[in-house]
Amino acid sequence: MTASVQQNPLAGNFLKIKLTGVAAVTTGAVMGLANPEGVPLLIIESWIYFRTGSTGAATFDVGIGTVGGAEDHSVLDLAAAIEATVGGNAYYGPAANAAGTENAIVWAADTFLIAQSAQSTVGLDADLYVRYIKLS
């Protein structure tokens, strides 16, 4: 996993995170990224572009959580969406909480952006983009 913060004065800050599939299915095996700004961030929206999907059907979720703990599926929830046929496709994941009552998610300074799957993601090659605003 590689991550970089991109800045655009017209669009706000966003992260570009390269994701590579793994056989492990533990929380954060695909990605566990500490908050890069050290302050609360308001996640506005996210996108993922798949160059290739996994070699088998796999669920794939991105959310906020702690290392070794569960993530909350709040940023991107792609149930059974990353099989081999998704290559060349992009998906938009507007940030929303589980109850669907908020339009954005707060990423606390001491938590992580976590990508996980309950199945092997071997073969996955993707870029995750997360747009955010600093709250302090």
The per-residue pLDDT of the chain, averaged, comes to: 77
Residue-wise pLDDT tens digits, 88-122 = 777 777 555 555 555 678 899 999 988 878 788 88
The pLDDT score that the predictor gives to residue 73 is: 66
**Per-residue pLDDT averaged across 63-72, rounded?**
73
Residue 13, pLDDT > 80, answer yes
DSSP code string of the chain: -EEEEEEETTTEEEEEEEEE--S--STTSSEEEE-SSSS-EEEEEEEEEEEE--SS---EEEEEE-TTS-B-S-SEEETT--SGGGTTEEEEEE---TTS--SSEEE-TT-EEEEE-SS--TT-EEEEEEEEEE--
The pLDDT score that the predictor gives to residue 105 is: 83
Residue 40, pLDDT > 90, answer yes
Distance CA 48, CA 43 (A): 14
Task: Tell which wins on pLDDT, 116 or 5.
Answer: 116
